[in-house]
Amino acid sequence: MKIYLAGPDVFRADAQAHGERLKQLCARHGFEGLFPLDTPAPRGAGKEAADAIYRANLQLLDGADIVMANLAPFRGHEPDSGTAFEVGYAAARGKQVWAYTEDGRELIQRVATHVGPDGSPADDHGFRVEDFGLSVNLMLACSVTLVHGGAEDCLRSIAAAQPATPLSTETA
């Protein structure tokens, strides 16, 4: 089975090496990992390069059986927006979507800083913070199987949830 490895990991300074480590973890659990940087980035910049990356990532997503998404907070309290898109895309295509985050605290514990004018928990900008007992936004939490831990914890859970492959019943 092929697993698309979604997440902000592509922005790491060691992104290529990290992607290889994730793919090796997949192999140890019997899966083939597909990392977004497996497709060489186009030369240049701007909208044309972005479109090429977008199309290449959709092709990898379409070729995957499962999506595993890193939903760790990125550049703030929420997961990477590109990863959120990939989760939604995969869910809409009927793919198994698994996700992980090391921070298992409820969103309200991480984000709410005061009580808003209407008495509900609010953030620093005055926006209400949802309180459903979830560690990520409900649209993500309800569309994935969420594992609190790292990539290896998630892969272990994915492997444990897959149906056993029947042994050959061939006789001599």
Q: Domains in the chain, start-ordered, CATH in brackets? A: 2-104+138-161 (3.40.50.450)
Contact 25, 149 (CB under 8 A): no
65/170 Cα distance (integer angstroms): 28
The residue type at 105: R
The rounded percent of the chain whose pLDDT value lies above 90 is 85
- pTM of the entire predicted model: 0.91
131/106 Cα distance (integer angstroms): 8
Burial class (CB in 10 A: 0-12, 13-18, 19+), 55: exposed
Taking only the tens place, the pLDDT of each residue in 10-23 is 999 999 999 999 99
Taking only the tens place, the pLDDT of each residue in 17-65 is 999 999 999 999 999 999 999 988 888 889 999 999 999 999 999 999 9
Q: What pLDDT, on a 0 to 100 scale, did the predictor assign at position 60?
A: 97
Taking only the tens place, the pLDDT of each residue in 70-99 is 999 999 989 999 999 999 999 999 999 999
**Is the predicted pLDDT of residue 172 greater than 50, yes or no?**
no
Q: What pLDDT, on a 0 to 100 scale, did the predictor assign at position 43?
A: 82
